[in-house]
Every structure is written in C-alpha cells, then in structure tokens.
Amino acid sequence: MRFNLITASILVATRAAAAADGSLDAAGSLVQMLLGLAVVIGLLYASLHVLKRLGAGTGNAAGLIKVRGATAVGPRERVVLVDVAGKVLVLGVTPGRITPLHTLDAADLPGAPDDTPHPAGKDFQSWLKQTLERRSR
C-alpha cells in the first residue's frame, strides 16, 4: 500500500513539473520506465514469496532424512547412504527408480565420511577439497 502511494505521488509531482516546463514527453517516459521497473520487481518479489510458501512443506522433512554420502557407480547410477530414524538405508539410485539395497543400524557405521582425514596425495577428490577450503579462508 505504501509503495503505491509513493509511486502515485511521484507520478503526480512529475506530471505537474513537466506541465510547467513543457517537457511532458521526457518526464512521462521516465515515469513509465520507473513504474514498469516497479511492476517487474514487485512480480519477482511476489513469485519469491509464493515459492517460499510452496517449498515450506518439504523443509520439515529435511530434518528427518539426512544423506550421509553418495558414490557414483556409473554415468547415471549412484549408491546413496541415507539416515532415517536411526537406520541407514543403502539405496541404488538411477534416473528411473530408487531401489533399497540394504538396511543398517547407524551405530554399525563409522562417523560421517567428511570426519575421516584423507592424505592429500592419495586421491584427487581430497586434494581438491583441501585446496578449496584453503582458498575460502
């Protein structure tokens, strides 16, 4: 509501100033551009608000389900470890389906994969991770 009042007052003030100068075309173009910009920004803000409201239902499940790790076994296939209610599910994930492969207790597995230190010279993945961590500091 306040935004509409501000734009309306700008429009009235610009029209009055332009009528006094005789340069109605330039002022009208400026006002039209500013109002168009305001409409576009308002639409972006409204769509962001709607997306947040629609995505709020999925955010609650994120605390219950945690992905422990994933490994690619093919170009489009992965094996994923997922924590659910104290159990660890081993899932095979392909583009067309998700297949449960095995179920483990969370106590049977060691800590999260990121907790174990890797020597920097052993594999490229750990070297890259350490390098990126150093750069971000």
pLDDT tens digit sequence for 101-128: 888 887 777 664 444 454 544 677 887 8
Neighbours of 81 (CB within 10 A): 19
Angle among Cα 45, 46, 49 to the nearest 5 degrees reads 90
| pLDDT on residue 52 | 83
Q: What residues form DSSP beta bridges with 84?
A: 65, 87
Look at phi and psi of residue 77 and say left if phi exceeds 0, alpha if psi is from -120 to 50, else beta.
beta
- Which one, of 87, 81, 130, lies nearest residue 108 by Cα? 87
DSSP symbols for 95-134? SS-EEEEEEEEGGGS-S-GGGS---TTT-HHHHHHHHHHH
Query: Residue 36: which pLDDT band, with cuts at 50, 70 and 90?
Result: very high
pLDDT of residue 60: 47
* Distance separating alpha carbons of residues 97 and 99, to the nearest angstrom: 6
Return the pLDDT at 19.
58
Residue-level pLDDT at 22: 55
Q: To the nearest whole number, what is the mean pLDDT of the chain? A: 77
For residue 82, give the H/E element and its range. strand 78-84
**Residue 2 confidence (pLDDT):** 60
pLDDT digits (tens, 9 = 90+) for 52-88: 888 655 554 556 788 888 888 888 899 988 888 888 8
